[in-house]
Amino acid sequence: MREPKIVSLDDLNKAVEIKLGGKSFIISRLTMRITELYGEYLIFCGEYAKQVNATKLLSDDSSIDLPGLEKLDADMQKLVEDFSIGKAERIEEMLKTILEKNGYKFDLEWWHENAQYQDMEQFIFQALKKDEDEAPKKKQAES
């Protein structure tokens, strides 16, 4: 009887080491869930941009009166507040998913003490692009 061939798909994964706040994280596993979360995040950001543009177009209307402008301002403030909260929640969920699938405990307090949301977003982006092929190396011209 022949021995079965063992194929470890984990061995085929590329890994990236991401350093932040004195810690080092080895990210080698990404799941479909993080891809879904990232897609939802991009859609969320796109919808926000559409709403901001629509509000800006309304505010540029010369026929709008002062109470109308005040309402638009209140609407814009609410839009920004909702976006800020929603963006933070989505970033935290993506980061938690990436870390937990790679064997780390997600410690939100540590992240709040050692990073900003832009750092967290960059961490997620670097993890997501870990499987991209490296740019082809340029050949040196022969003398």
Cα–Cα distance measured from residue 9 to residue 93, given in angstroms and rounded to the nearest whole number: 25
Convert the pLDDT of each residue in 44-92 to its tens digit: 999 999 999 988 888 777 787 878 778 888 989 999 999 999 999 999 9
CA distances from 123 to 23, 35, 65 (A): 12, 14, 45
E strands, the chain, are 16-20, 23-27
* Domain range summary for the chain, segments of one domain joined by +: 16-128
The pLDDT assigned to 14 comes to 85
The pLDDT assigned to 138 comes to 47
pLDDT over threshold 70, residue 12: no
